[in-house]
Amino acid sequence: MPKGYTYILLCSDNSYYTGSTINLKKRWKEHLAGQGANHTRKHPPVRILYYEVYPRVDYAFYREKQIQKWSRAKKEALISGRMKDLHLYSQCQNETHYLLR
């Protein structure tokens, strides 16, 4: 299997888009041309903020699905390389749960 990439894009509305692909340069051009996902067609990408390389595309796809579930704050910690902070954003941030700690 070819290698895979998981990536995070900054879009024109300041949202993040997380995807995976076997060819990051080609996929970036597709997003710019409006041939990417629905989100990037509606909110064109501005730049690639982050990417990871995997030996297999199925690993990249799995990682994409994992990151898509994350909060914006947790994605920003990943993008900025604050790996030690990732666990902080894994904890429940719901006010009710927070008050019970």
- Kindly report, residue by residue over 46-58, the tens digit of the pLDDT: 999 999 999 999 9
Q: Above 90 in pLDDT, residue 93? A: no
Mean pLDDT of 38-65: 96
pLDDT at position 1: 57
Tell me how far apart the alpha carbons of residues 37 and 69 are, in angstroms, rounded to a whole number: 17
Tell me how far apart the alpha carbons of residues 92 and 36 are, in angstroms, rounded to a whole number: 33
Domains by residue range for the chain, with CATH? 1-69 (3.40.1440.10), 71-101 (no CATH)
Spatial CB neighbours of 77, under 8 Å, sequence gap ≥ 6 = 83, 85, 86, 88, 89
- Selection from 7, 2, 3, 1 nearest residue 52 by Cα: 7
pLDDT at position 36: 82
pLDDT at position 92: 64
